[in-house]
Structure 1
Amino acid sequence: MAYELAQVNIGRMRAPLDSPVMQDFMDGLAEVNAAADAAEGFVWRLVDGATGFRFWGDEWLIVNMSVWTDAEAFRAYVYGPAHRPFLQRRREWFAHLREAVTALWWVPAGERPTVEDAEKRLTLLREKGPTPEAFTMKAEFGPPAP
Structure 2
Amino acid sequence: MMRPTDLHLAELNVGRLLAPTDDPRVAEFMAALDRVNGLGKRMPGFVWMMEGSGEPGKGNTETKIGGDSQYVSNLTVWESVETLENFVWNTVHRQFYERRQEWFEVLGSMHFVMWWVPEGHKPTLDEALERLDHLRAHGDSDHAFGWTYLKEAKLWRSRNCGGQAA
TM-score (norm 1): 0.92
* 1:91 aligns with one of 96, 101, 105: 101
Q: Is 1:114 the counterpart of 2:124 in the alignment?
A: yes
Q: Which residue of 2 aligns with 1:71?
A: 81
Asked if the contact 1:5/1:71 (under 8 Å) is kept, the reply is yes
Q: Which runs of 5+ in 1 are unaligned?
A: none
Q: Which residue of 2 aligns with 1:20?
A: 24
Is 46-55 or 109-118 further displaced after alignment? 46-55
Q: Which residue of 1 aligns with 2:8?
A: 4
Q: Which residue of 1 aligns with 2:136?
A: 126
Percentage identity across paired residues of the two chains? 36
CA distance in 2, matches of 1:94, 1:131: 27
1:55-104 alpha-carbon deviations (Å, 9 max, x no partner): 23333211000000011100110012220111011000001112111100
Secondary structure of the residue aligned to 2:61 is helix
Across the two proteins, how many residue pairs are aligned to each other?
Answer: 142
CA distance in 1, matches of 2:151, 2:128: 17
TM-score (norm 2): 0.81
Q: Which residue of 2 aligns with 1:46?
A: 50
Asked if the contact 2:21/2:70 (under 8 Å) is kept, the reply is no
CA distance in 2, matches of 1:96, 1:90: 9
Q: CA deviation at 1:140?
A: 2.4
Q: CA deviation at 1:25?
A: 0.4
Q: Which residue of 1 aligns with 2:158?
A: none
Q: Which runs of 5+ in 2 are unaligned?
A: 53-58, 153-166
Secondary structure of the residue aligned to 2:60 is helix
- The RMSD of aligned alpha carbons is 1.5
CA distance in 2, matches of 1:14, 1:83: 19
CA distance in 2, matches of 1:27, 1:135: 30
CA distance in 2, matches of 1:58, 1:119: 15
Secondary structure of the residue aligned to 2:67 is coil
Asked if the contact 1:43/1:66 (under 8 Å) is kept, the reply is yes
Q: CA deviation at 1:51?
A: 1.7
Give the 4+ runs in structure 1 shifted more than 4 A: none
CA distance in 2, matches of 1:129, 1:108: 22
